[in-house]
Chains A and B, each alone.
Chain A
Amino acid sequence: MGYLVRRTGQAIVTLVVAVVLVFVAVRLLPGNPLLTRFGQHVDPAQLEKLRVEQGWDRPIHRQLFEFVWQVATTGSLGESLMRSNASVAKELSERVPATIELALAALTIAIPVGLTAGVLASVRRGGWLDRVLMSGSLLGVSVPVFFIGICLRGLFPSMPAGFRLPLDVVDFEPWTGLYALDAVLQGRWEIAYQTLRHLCLPAVALSTIPTSLIARVTRSSMLEVLKADFLRTARAKGASRFSIVVRHAFRNAAVPITDMIGLQTGLLLSGAVLTETVFDWPGLGKYVVDALLTNDYVVVQAGGIVVATMFVTLNLALDLIYLLLDPRLRHG
């Protein structure tokens, strides 16, 4: 219990530090976001009025305090500086599900493929299968995602290579923002099918790194456990090979693997900027990066908060999962 409280406390401190850092950093960037809005028609009087309205004439700590107050009292994350009537909270509520859907799709590929490859490589250690799988995973980690994305687009020219749905579908209103789920809930089978098709290439591209990392960690973790005495005992007692590998070794190798999966999930959920850019996927990563390029303070700080929150929460959840997986930690 004490561990839980301590761990939650740490998470909150991390979150606060992250928010302050993002808030200050974005204001230190060169360039005035309002100038971008005015384009070639800057009106100095309007510009000054807006600057005061945004509170940029006040010291940065007061701006921070006012922002935190606004979030705490109204729950509003503000409106984008670049777009009229663009509630950032509302925009995020459309962007985050897009990222989650893509991340889930990528994990659906990465976890089974990565685990299977890792286990196979470990039991065939040194053999050709091991070598092929590990070279493949090395390639998977080192080739840039956007390159893989472009290759996939070239290899499967008939597959949709961008967006979540065909561009001329104009009558689909999502409920949760997870299109595949919404389409099924609404009984729109054709939309569900199109959603899955549109997910294919970006999910494959995005899954390469986590798949490879999971495979590598699984392999080394498995090798560690396979050497252990208790497995020799199990073998001596006549346990089947399958049962040794899957029931005994794999379970004991699970902690570092869970760690890796958790870390990767966090990364995927915080928005895969490159994949989202190559495939015009309207997700969180691209949203925040686009805002950074135009110095849209409001969007950047809100995006930063959401990413930090997701990351911290996920890490907290992971730690709790360890407690369940490894009884020894409960007394640590």
Chain B
Amino acid sequence: MIVSRMSLFARMLAAGVLCAAGTLSGCGGSADSSAAKTDTLVYGRGGDANTLDPINTDIGEAVKVIVNVFETLVAYHEEELTLVPGLAVKWENSQDGREWTFHLREGVKFHDGTPCDADAVVFSLERLISDQHPAVYDPLRPYRPNFQMIEKVEAVDARTVKFHLKEASAVFLNNLAMFPASVVSPTAVQKLGKEFATAPVGTGPFKFGRWKRDQQIVLEANPDYWDGAPRIARVVFVPIADGSTRVAQLRKGAIHLAEDLPPTELDAVAKEPGIAIQACESLNVGYLTLQTERPPLDKLKVRQAIAHAIDKQEMAHVVFADRAHPAVTLVPRNMWGYADQLADRKFDPATAKKLLEEAVQEEKLELPLKLTLAVMNQPRPYMQQPLQAASFVKDALGKIGIEVTVEPRPISQHFEHLMAGGHQMGLAGWTTDNSDPDNFLYSLLDVDNISEHGNNLSRYRNDEVHRLLLGAQKELDADKRLAMYARVQELCLQDAPVVPLISTEVRIAQTARLKGYRLHPASLVRLRRAYFESATPGGGSRP
């Protein structure tokens, strides 16, 4: 409090002096800069959250706030993808994998002072999975299907929670570590009603402060956090839609961290003193879907020819400025379950041409083959420049005798089109939800997910793949699961319903003084350990 009054006084003094100076250009940078406040971290991102109720969103901007306010029973390791205790200190499962018992941490309290006990866990999970629940205020629960394996949750005693599953599930634990399974304060949910979405109460390292839509979300440090209070007093999330504006604000010191920046801007700002860059391989894949129900893509040789014709290495270089690496399968290479023994199909235009000519002869087609390529006209994390990527594919396929027409659409219409199977070829991608290969392979390749709203965009049907994927969901032996996923990836490589293109790197720019925050491979933004190095007032990074 004293600090903030002091700084307010200093700022008023500065304001007075600057007012006296009186001219536009006479105003120095310091009054605008927040560099003087060393206890507030201003986090610049592209958009605002849509809700802060964990069960109602799948928007990244909301998740970044949610994971700082709420916690789950099981959590991700600070820097890795392994699971560590969260609100549960330990857990065990029955032999058949259908009963899981979690032992809760002692003495954890919600930000409203109520205890985080077994009843709260049951309440939170029931809100997520029940068909009808009186405390669900927005019926839209995007992640609800991920928890459908849960039959019942019960409180055994105040510190013990038991989950009964419909059948054994290998992804259950990973899914419990996801933000929708956050434990919320039942008292607050019931008291606030639908306002809980804009005034969340959890157990996390930060307490909700205030939310001015499209301007600020303010989180205050939780001094009573069970694992030690955060080192900064406050985080302010601000939405700044334009990437170059985010860079400009970072230069001024008005924000301390900027994400989702255009690659060229990021490279330029990287060279400046006082600014640091963090990079991290992320768990995503950008791929080309080939709609296998639509001729001529129902022909294996045509699909294989397309897969042979695209030089992924060159694409990573040209389209992604080397901030991506070629993908062999749909599973990112740094994730458990990636089939590392698998060699990618070679980039080989000659073979591609030969395969295509064979297909043309066998199926009485005509060269050049005419195909459409659907593409989103807005950037995604796995494809920052989708239109350039589409041109690259168009050029590559042009060289083997396929004439491509690129069809750009806004993002929501694009995926509506692909899910409905209206495309021939399409650029798409996936970012991990739970860091499990099931999330990539089952979602994107299984016959269960062919529908108007399903994510098997290629409408790939393979009985062996289906059998393996369902089996792997229930297989609790990690080695056996790994072998099953390896086989699925091999079959996918052979059948080429998709051409995995690249996995991208996530990069952010930040004030060099900001320490203690590391990018997480699952893109979790957890700011508890962040702090500013030197506490000299006005010691901002920019002159």
Task: Give A residues with C-beta under 8 Å from B.
Answer: 30-44, 46-47, 49-50, 53, 82-86, 91, 94, 153, 156-164, 166-168, 170, 189-190, 193-194, 197, 200, 277-278, 280, 282, 287, 293-295
Contact = CB atoms under 8 A, between A and B. Distances in A.
Interface string B337-351: 000000000000000
Contacts of A94: 212-213
A44 B451 contact: yes
B28 A158 contact: yes
Given A83-B51, A189-B12, 16 more contacts: A31-B416, A34-B140, A42-B454, A84-B56, A84-B197, A91-B213, A156-B25, A166-B34, A167-B42, A167-B254, A168-B40, A170-B209, A197-B27, A197-B31, A277-B242, A280-B241
Number of chain B interface residues as a range: 35 or more
Nearest to B140: A37
A219 B413 CA distance: 50
Nearest to B210: A170
A170 B234 contact: yes
Given A32-B416, A161-B248, A43 B27 contact: no
A46 B141 contact: yes
A282 B58 contact: no
Interface in B97-151: 137-146
A31 B195 contact: no
Nearest to A198: B32
Given A85-B194, A168-B236, A293-B410, A158 B32 contact: yes
Residue with the greatest number of chain B CB neighbours at <10 A, chosen from A37, A162, A168: A168
A206 to B, nearest CB: 16
B419 to A, nearest CB: 7
Main secondary structure of the interface of A (DSSP, over half): loop
Nearest to B49: A83
Contacts of B430: 40
A46 B139 contact: yes
Given A42-B419, A43-B145, A170-B236, A200 B58 contact: no
Contact of B142 (A37, A91, A153): A37
Contacts of B252: 157
Residue with the greatest number of chain A CB neighbours at <10 A, chosen from B8, B195, B443: B8
A160 B254 contact: yes
Given A84-B194, A85-B194, A31 B34 contact: no
Contacts of B245: 161-162, 278, 280
A160 B240 CA distance: 14
Contact of B416 (A35, A44, A293): A35
A153 B248 contact: yes
A83 B32 contact: no
Interface string B516-532: 00000000000000000
Contacts of B27: 158-159, 197
A156 B32 CA distance: 12
Interface stretch (B214-222, B355-363, B386-394): B214-222
